[in-house]
Amino acid sequence: MPDDNATLPGTDLGTDTGLLEAAAREAGRIALGYFDGSVKQWTKGDNSPVSEADLAVDRFLRTRLSGERPDYGWLSEESADTSERLARASVFVVDPIDGTRAFLRGADEWTISLAVVTEGRPTAAAVYCPRRDEMFLAAKGRGAWLGGTRLSTADRAGLGGARLAGPRKVTGHQAARSAGIEAAPVVPSLAYRIALVSAGRLDGAASTSGPSDWDLAGADLLVHEAGGRLSQLSGDPVLYNRDHPVHPPIAASGAPLHGALLSLLKTTLSDRSTADA
């Protein structure tokens, strides 16, 4: 648990969290300039959508963040990856628009997800939902916050009645129904899904395959600084800025629920359930 005396990370650009917050707000304004309009879009090699809005936000963020911290490396969903980042002690990890499908269909639940990762773990985070003007912030050792409210994960210890967001093949699985899970509506942005766990609005969240650094890093810090856990099925934390920035299934929840949630996720996967993020 973080220090109970920790205070809201400041918006001073001298802090990494303050820099991420300011950049995320401006990135949100850029993205909203394309929202509800005629946006050019196409499909990437992994069959996921991308739009001119994603690329515009990515360009802005790289200019802004790297301009302020030129010694930091760069890893973004919408930038070509290079091994150069592996030599940097700290790296910006960026998803310009997490939940592009939701963005393109005019829904609210997409985010700008930003993190600083230092020696494999996130140390600063901003996850911003522009349509709801919700700014989730965290700094290592200083808590997780939404506005002026310090966040805390739910303290539920059992699966019965727990609100879980994740692929329907998990939340609708017989094992989940038997355990009394309450399936929450699908949250398209994985970063937002996990941020809602940090705020206690969801008891748990899961992703069954293929989450990348940019999906997880910022939200990972939010959950841990709110007193919860995010881990692989083994219970090990996720390490970032590695050669291959893609991860196996993960679960996030309050600490008392985490073991039971991991067991449920293992059961659904052993039943050959396949993935949606």
Tell if the pTM clears 0.85, that is, is over it.
yes
245 and 138 assigned to the same domain? no
Query: 210 or 28: whose pLDDT is higher?
Result: 28
Phi, psi values for residue 225, rounded to 5°? -75, -15
Please report the pLDDT score of residue 125 as a whole number. Answer: 98
Are 120 and 241 contacting, i.e. CB atoms less than 8 angstroms apart? yes
For tokens 């997880």, name the residue: 216
Task: Return binding residues for Mg(2+).
Answer: 77, 95, 97-98, 215
Instruction: Report the number of distinct structural domains present in the chain.
Output: 2
Residue 190 structural domain: 163-270
Please report the pLDDT score of residue 45 as a whole number. Answer: 78
Rounded CA separation 257/79 (Å): 36
Rounded CA separation 77/61 (Å): 12
User: Residue 188, SS3?
Assistant: coil
Determine which of 59-68, 146-155, 264-273 has the lowest per-residue pLDDT on average. 264-273
37 and 88 assigned to the same domain? yes
Task: Return binding residues.
Answer: 77, 95, 97-98, 215
156 occurs within a structural domain: no
If you average pLDDT over residues 197-216, what whole number do you get?
Answer: 96
Please report the pLDDT score of residue 2 as a whole number. Answer: 42
Residue percentage of the chain with pLDDT more than 70: 93
If you average pLDDT over residues 200-214, what whole number do you get?
Answer: 95
Nearest residue to 264 (alpha-carbon basis) of 251, 254, 274, 276? 251
Nearest residue to 250 (alpha-carbon basis) of 199, 215, 193, 211? 211
38 and 144 assigned to the same domain? yes
39 and 137 assigned to the same domain? yes
